Amino acid sequence: MAGQEDPVQREIHQDWANREYIELITSSIKKIADFLNSFDMSCRSRLATLNEKLTALERRIEYIEARVTKGETLT
Amino acid sequence: MPLVTRNIEPRHLCRQKLPRVRNELECVTNIDLANVIRQLGSLSKNAEDIFGELFTQAKTFASRVSSLAERVDRLQVKVTQLDPKEEEVSLQGINTRKAFRSSTIQDQKLFDRDSLPVPILETYSTCDTPPPLNNLTPYRDDGKEALKFYTNPSYFFDLWKEKMLQDTKDIMKEKRKHRKEKKDNPNRGNVNPRKIKTRKEEWEKMKMGQEFVESKEKLGLSGYSPALVYQNGSIGSVENVDAGSYPPPPQADIASSPSPSFSEDNLPPPPAEFSYPADNQRGSVLAAPKRSSVVSPSHPPPAPPLGSPPGPKPGFASPPAPPPPPPLGIPPPPPAMGFGSPETPLPPSPASFPPHPDFAAPPPPPPPPAADYPTLPPPPMSQPAGGVPPPPPPPPPPGPPPLPFSGGDGQPAVPPPPISDATKPKSSLPAVSDARSDLLSAIRQGFQLRRVEEQREQEKHDVVGNDVATILSRRIAVEYSDSEDDSSEFDEDDWSD
């Protein structure tokens, strides 16, 4: 009995260690995935703000160009 | 149901049947590690996708910024060359020069199949494609795609487009009639003089603020008009829109996002556009419940309620022009039918539908009186067929149909036999027993004429631009020219007399 316990025990210990290792890996994977998603979202929102500013700038420039050109290239 | 955009693939590390090994715990560990590696693979694929999308967006912005920088440089040079004393400002210049209009490009097709992110497109591609019903298209007589009867992603857009085009036509007709009436009585003066509109009332109304002006149709606050317009289906107040539509250019300010088109607020918005790839799954989900009611939006108005979809009954309710979708009440096949009644539904039908020979497929047993109408031509019969959405398999040629058709024809005619007789517009149909061949040839001719007309109409329709913005803008233009005509007439009345 004692002889049997030892290898089984060893195996079970080993198994527990493996599982902990795998758990570590998978939780890191989840953290990476979370990070990627939040990075994506924040990047998109910043790009959207940039887009807004760009559009506003473009409209202003269009208007200024129309004001400045003395009727040369009025479309 | 929301779809997950990016999924990391082997979701469960070890939920599978284990093979027979001596040491199961080790086996499980090894399987887990292998799946972890697969998960890392899919994670890196998703990461690459994410960064790719962000990169393309950033690239477009970079190009926009560089072009803006160039424009700013050019402007800078130009402005330094400006000299306020040297510039001449002529009165004619102010009036004759074209006023500044900022570019009003509206974003369209935002939620199209093309703008779908790639991972979701891949999810869609794992679904089943719709059945290849388009193989049956060459066997159809009316030239419609057979798959459209099963699933039609552009259904709602087509419906909306028809409605808009119809509305523009109606408005133009009214205008023409109005103009004609005015031209016809130039010397009679105003029989019904317009109520004298004074500017004072308008200013009073606008006193409290533009938002509180009561619209023509009493839509209430213009802020709520979009919601209410859905119920009315009509365009909101013209006054509101007029005042708001031409803001002076210097006010093109930065912070406020310009309301791109008030017009879009006021009109019932077009449905979301779907592109139409061969394997569109969404369309089938949407189309399934709706299929039961209408076959093709291009013929909404004139369709008499046609047979309910699964039933093999030939729906042919007598009143010629009820709305297509709801009242698909088909009268149960009555044992006996009146003679005159089948004729009455006929004339409107050729006017509305091209032949649907596929209707011939589910004919009910022809009741005996129906045998008297062997010569009734296929086209009217095909009309009820149009209402049967999942079309029966390859439609037989229009030759054989007359006999089964006459069977179907008889049934729905019974319910209002006296009324239909009374309201029969086409008096050209002779009595049944006499000159059946003349009847047949006359109707056939009539039918063919209409078919050509319809083709011409269809060609005309194809010329029209197919996107929301052009259609809406045309409709708005017609509305505005209409109101401008009215107001110009008002002005003329003001000055005349």
pLDDT in tens, B452-465: 666 666 655 555 56
Q: How many beta-carbon pairs below 8 A join chains A and B?
A: 91
Q: What angle do CA B373, B379, B384 make, to 5 degrees?
A: 90
Q: What is d(CA B185, CA B192) in angstroms, rounded to the nearest whole number?
A: 12
Q: Is residue A41 part of a domain?
A: yes
Residue B6 CA from chain centroid, whole number: 33
Q: What is the mean pLDDT of residues B121-146?
A: 88
pLDDT computed for residue B93 by the predictor: 65
Helix/strand/coil for B290 = helix
CB B165 within 8 A of CB B298: no
* Percent of chain B surpassing pLDDT 90: 11
Q: Give pLDDT tens digits for B165-214.
A: 898 899 889 989 988 888 887 766 666 666 776 788 778 777 777 776 66
Q: Count other Cβ atoms within 10 Å, centred on residue B356.
A: 27
Query: Tokens 């009436």 sit at which residue?
Result: B181
Q: What is d(CA B138, CA B135) in angstroms, rounded to the nearest whole number?
A: 7
Q: What is d(CA B402, CA B386) in angstroms, rounded to the nearest whole number?
A: 16
* Minimal Cβ distance to A59: which of B13, B32, B252: B252
Q: What is the mean pLDDT of residues B402-419?
A: 42
Q: Is residue A67 part of a domain?
A: yes
Flag if B54 and A25 touch (Cβ within 8 Å).
Answer: no
CB B445 within 8 A of CB B371: no
Residue A36 belongs to domain spanning: 28-74
pLDDT computed for residue B60 by the predictor: 95
- Residue A28 backbone phi and psi in degrees, to 5: -65, -40
| pLDDT bracket for residue B419 (50, 70, 90) | very low
Q: Which residue of B has its CA nearest to A69?
A: B78
Q: Is residue A14 part of a domain?
A: no
Flag if A63 and B40 touch (Cβ within 8 Å).
Answer: no
Domain count, chain A: 1
Helix/strand/coil for B306 = strand
Q: Give pLDDT tens digits for A11-35.
A: 999 999 999 999 999 999 999 999 9
Name beta bridge partners: B316. Answer: B306
Which of B31, B36, B97 has the highest number of chain A CBs within 10 A, making it the mutation to test binding with A?
B36
Q: Is residue A60 part of a domain?
A: yes
| pLDDT bracket for residue B54 (50, 70, 90) | very high
Q: What is d(CA B480, CA B241) in angstroms, rounded to the nearest whole number?
A: 10
* Percent of chain B surpassing pLDDT 70: 42
Q: What is d(CA B75, CA B73) in angstroms, rounded to the nearest whole number?
A: 5
Q: Is residue A22 part of a domain?
A: no
Average pLDDT, chain B: 63
pLDDT computed for residue B458 by the predictor: 62
CB B303 within 8 A of CB B380: no
For residue B230, which of B261, B269, B273 has the smallest C-alpha distance? B269
- Say whether the ipTM exceeds 0.95: no
Q: Is the pLDDT of residue B138 over 80?
A: yes
* Minimal Cβ distance to B97: which of A33, A39, A71: A71
pLDDT computed for residue B213 by the predictor: 64
Q: Is residue A54 part of a domain?
A: yes
Q: Is residue A53 part of a domain?
A: yes
* Minimal Cβ distance to B68: which of A44, A47, A61: A61
CB B403 within 8 A of CB B366: yes
Flag if B68 and A57 touch (Cβ within 8 Å).
Answer: yes
Q: What is the mean pLDDT of residues B79-92?
A: 69
How close is the nearest chain B Cα to the Cα of A24, in Å? 11
Q: Is residue A18 part of a domain?
A: no
Q: What is the DSSP string of B420-471?
A: HHHT---TT---SSS-HHHHHHHHHHHHHHHHHHHHHHHHHHHHS--SHHHH
Q: Give pLDDT tens digits for B420-448.
A: 444 444 444 545 556 677 777 777 776 66
pLDDT computed for residue A45 by the predictor: 97
pLDDT computed for residue B474 by the predictor: 78
For residue A72, which of B255, B224, B93 has the smallest C-alpha distance? B93
pLDDT computed for residue B425 by the predictor: 43
Structure tokens at B77: 């040079």
